[in-house]
């Protein structure tokens, strides 16, 4: 222990006594014994070249050679080389989370441009400087709705990403907030049911477009009815889809949240990512995190400042909106560079190419015996029903070099034969045809 900590045995004993335990091992009682390391018998040190060989060998155990048709909220999109080139510059790369108001003008301007782009993309008035990820962004939106209405009930559609719903439920578990899920109409939101579940204590309704099954909906009428009853409307969105689909602002949503991974961030086995949040003007004062504003200095020059800082570090604790709203500045920078490179036309073209690739896959799958494609509007993700259990199909396709979608039963018990497939702009026509041919063989 003394090799790695500066504390003396006496100091350690005093600290343990202060918290009421008799040994360091007792600090780990909450961890089941089966999960604890039995020992740390590390091998002797080796030369750098040998260590590099070992690490590379471990890395090659990750299978990244299969062709991916996975989606579920995290997507395999093309990332222009310039995104890496710009975001890896030292002046950006080392300024990861700007808490202080004296953050550099370059960092503040990058965040300001990011906010402007996200607000424009969603069709809403304001966006913050980013959040931890899409799931925590949804929880933050729910917390905003509860604070602004003084109500305690949330109605959430079952088509909202199940990982996001789990995150929201976890954060709300010790709060006086009740979350009720609205059952799906097969693979799409049952808007009539959502409205019927709302009562006088409903703070917000939460929907997603496209939803976890890939289904596209228009929630304009539902949002109008909710607003007339004083209910906050929250929509989870997929950024790339907004190149062609109706925006949250056009549906008159109060709050829009989403995962920013598809905007120039690699999948990276799960992160780091960033949470997107945009709101109508009436909600801006309740928004968590930071907002960068534009002003002029004493000499009349354009300048940027942290206009809103709602963390405990900056304001009275009881007034803080959140303590999990880390600004993912580097990830937000990548999203900004990505959007700037594509521009309005390039962004729309990317969305259309996603739809084209997905339509090709959908049409080919529909022609395979043993496959029934769910007949609903979709973007680049859709659901099929197979004649065999979806996990079995996925396992057999993996042997043929494909990550063949997400079995719905992982998150939705009772849907054992349903499979959610996705094709982004990265999937070539040859890959799609090869996938369909392999699927036909598996299902024969």
Cβ-based neighbours of 3, under 8 Å, separated by 6 or more: none
Res 7: pLDDT = 86
Q: Which two tokens stand for residue 255?
A: 């709050």
Residue pair 219/127 in contact by the 8 Å Cβ criterion: no
User: DSSP character for 63?
Assistant: -
Res 9: pLDDT = 87
SS3 179: strand
Closest CA to 330 of 32, 97, 16: 97
Res 318: pLDDT = 64
pTM of the model: 0.89
Q: Where on the phi/psi map is residue 321: left (φ > 0), alpha (ψ -120 to 50), or beta?
A: alpha
The values of phi and psi at residue 207, to 5°, are: -130, 175
Give, in order, the Cα–Cα distances in Å from 321 to each of 168, 259, 288, 309.
16, 20, 5, 9
Q: Which fold has domain 81-339?
A: 3.40.640
Res 33: pLDDT = 87
Please determine, looking at this structure, whether the domain spanning 67-76+343-443 carries the CATH number 3.90.1150.10: yes
Res 1: pLDDT = 46
Task: Report, as ranges of residue numbers, the positions in the chain whose pLDDT lies below 50.
Answer: 1
Residue pair 245/216 in contact by the 8 Å Cβ criterion: yes
HEC sequence for 82-104? HHHHHHCCHHHHCCCCCCCCCCC
Q: Which two tokens stand for residue 60?
A: 């090659």
Domain boundaries, the chain: 67-76+343-443, 81-339
Residue pair 97/130 in contact by the 8 Å Cβ criterion: no
Res 37: pLDDT = 81
The rounded distance, in Å, linking the Cα atoms of 137 and 236 is 9
Res 93: pLDDT = 77
The rounded distance, in Å, linking the Cα atoms of 166 and 154 is 14
């Amino acid at each position: 222990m003394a090799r790695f900590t500066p504390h003396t045995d006496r100091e350690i004993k005093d600290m343990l006594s202060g918290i009421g335990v008799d040994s360091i091992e007792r600090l780990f009682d909450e961890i089941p014994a089966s999960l604890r390391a039995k020992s740390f018998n590390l091998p002797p040190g080796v030369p750098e070249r040998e260590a590099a060989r070992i690490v590379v060998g471990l890395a090659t155990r990750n299978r990244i050679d299969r062709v991916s048709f996975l989606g579920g909220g995290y997507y395999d999109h093309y990332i222009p080389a310039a995104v890496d080139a710009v975001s890896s510059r030292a002046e950006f790369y080392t300024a990861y989370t700007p808490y202080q108001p004296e953050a550099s003008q370059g960092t503040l301007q990058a965040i300001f441009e990011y906010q402007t782009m996200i607000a424009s993309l969603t069709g809403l008035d304001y966006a913050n400087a980013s959040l931890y990820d899409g799931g925590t962004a949804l929880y933050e939106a729910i917390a905003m709705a509860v604070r602004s209405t003084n109500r305690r009930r949330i109605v959430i559609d079952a088509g909202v990403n199940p990982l996001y719903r789990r995150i929201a439920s976890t954060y709300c578990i010790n709060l006086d907030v009740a979350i009720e899920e609205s059952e799906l109409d097969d693979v799409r939101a049952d808007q009539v049911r959502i409205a019927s579940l709302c009562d006088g204590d409903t703070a917000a309704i939460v929907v997603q477009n496209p939803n976890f099954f890939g289904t596209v909906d228009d929630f304009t009428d539902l949002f109008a009815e909710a607003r007339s009853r004083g209910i906050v409307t929250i929509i989870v969105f997929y950024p790339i889809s907004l190149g062609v689909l109706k925006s949250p602002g056009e549906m008159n949503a109060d709050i829009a949240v989403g995962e920013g991974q598809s905007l120039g961030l690699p999948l990276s086995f799960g992160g780091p990512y960033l949470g997107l949040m945009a709101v109508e003007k009436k909600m801006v004062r309740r928004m968590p995190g930071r907002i960068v504003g534009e002003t002029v200095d004493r000499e009349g020059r354009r300048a940027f400042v942290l206009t809103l800082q709602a963390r405990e570090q900056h304001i009275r604790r009881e007034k803080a909106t959140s303590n999990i709203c880390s600004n993912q500045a580097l990830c937000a920078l990548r999203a900004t560079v990505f959007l700037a490179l594509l521009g309005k036309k390039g962004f729309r073209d990317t969305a259309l190419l996603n739809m084209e690739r997905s339509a090709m896959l959908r049409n080919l799958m529909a022609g395979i015996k043993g496959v029934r494609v769910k007949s609903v509007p979709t973007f680049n993700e859709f659901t099929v029903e197979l004649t065999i259990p979806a996990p079995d199909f996925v396992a057999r396709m993996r042997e043929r070099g494909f990550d063949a979608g997400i079995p719905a039963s992982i998150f939705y018990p009772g849907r054992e034969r349903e499979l959610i497939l996705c094709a982004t702009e990265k999937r070539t026509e040859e890959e799609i045809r090869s996938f369909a041919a392999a699927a036909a063989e598996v299902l024969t």
